[in-house]
Amino acid sequence: MTCPEKIAYSNRPDANAALEATIAGMKKRGDQSWKRLTMYRCGQCFKYHVGHLRMLREPKPEQAPKPPSAGELRRKLKRMAEDWQRHDDHLRKRRAAELGKLIDADRTWFADVAKAERIAQERTADFAESLRMARTMVEQLFS
Ligand SMILES: [Zn+2]
């Protein structure tokens, strides 16, 4: 892990020298924040940085989070509505897909029933035909 936004020094003497030079420059410019400037070992890149430690910073009076503006709230509501719309579309598509499967299943079922009916009708017709032939044969034999 590196800290690209900060200058990193690989050792303490180099970082101290940089700290001294920075403080000297700030004093020359009349920048009072040199008092909070320090050199520290970074927990992220494990090198040394020169900077203002967060802990040393005086707390600002306006620390409370700013309430969202009407515009921000409107944008948030719009985002929520868009998310909802997307979710709704997704559910609709899924329902349509399920309905499609159901319709296909129904069609298959109806086709199977129709086929079974046709077979039953053919068998009934065959049976009726057999009976008719049997009657004819009986009539021919015994008349
Ligand atoms: Zn770092």
pLDDT tens digit sequence for 73-127 = 999 999 999 999 999 999 999 999 999 999 999 888 889 989 999 999 998 888 8
Residue ranges covered by each domain of the chain: 12-56, 74-143
DSSP conformation class of 48: E
pLDDT score at 61: 59
**Residue 125 Cα to ligand 1 middle (Å):** 92
pLDDT score at 140: 86
For range 33-43, the mean pLDDT? 88
Helices vs. strands in the chain: H and E counts, helices first:
2, 2
**Residue 14 Cα to ligand 1 middle (Å):** 15
Model confidence at 56: pLDDT above 60: no
Between 34-38, 55-59, 133-137, the lowest mean confidence (pLDDT) is in 55-59
**Residue 26 Cα to ligand 1 middle (Å):** 22
**Residue 9 Cα to ligand 1 middle (Å):** 9
User: Is this model's pTM higher than 0.75 or not?
Assistant: no
For range 43-52, the mean pLDDT? 88
pLDDT score at 54: 63
Say which residues have a Cβ less than 8 Å from residue 57's Cβ, sequence separation at least 6.
Answer: 36
Reading the block at residue 5, the tokens are: 């936004």
Give the residue, 141 or 17, on which the prediction is more confident.
17
**Residue 50 Cα to ligand 1 middle (Å):** 10
**Residue 76 Cα to ligand 1 middle (Å):** 35
**Residue 29 Cα to ligand 1 middle (Å):** 27
Confidence grade of residue 67 (pLDDT, cut at 50, 70, 90)? confident
**Residue 17 Cα to ligand 1 middle (Å):** 18
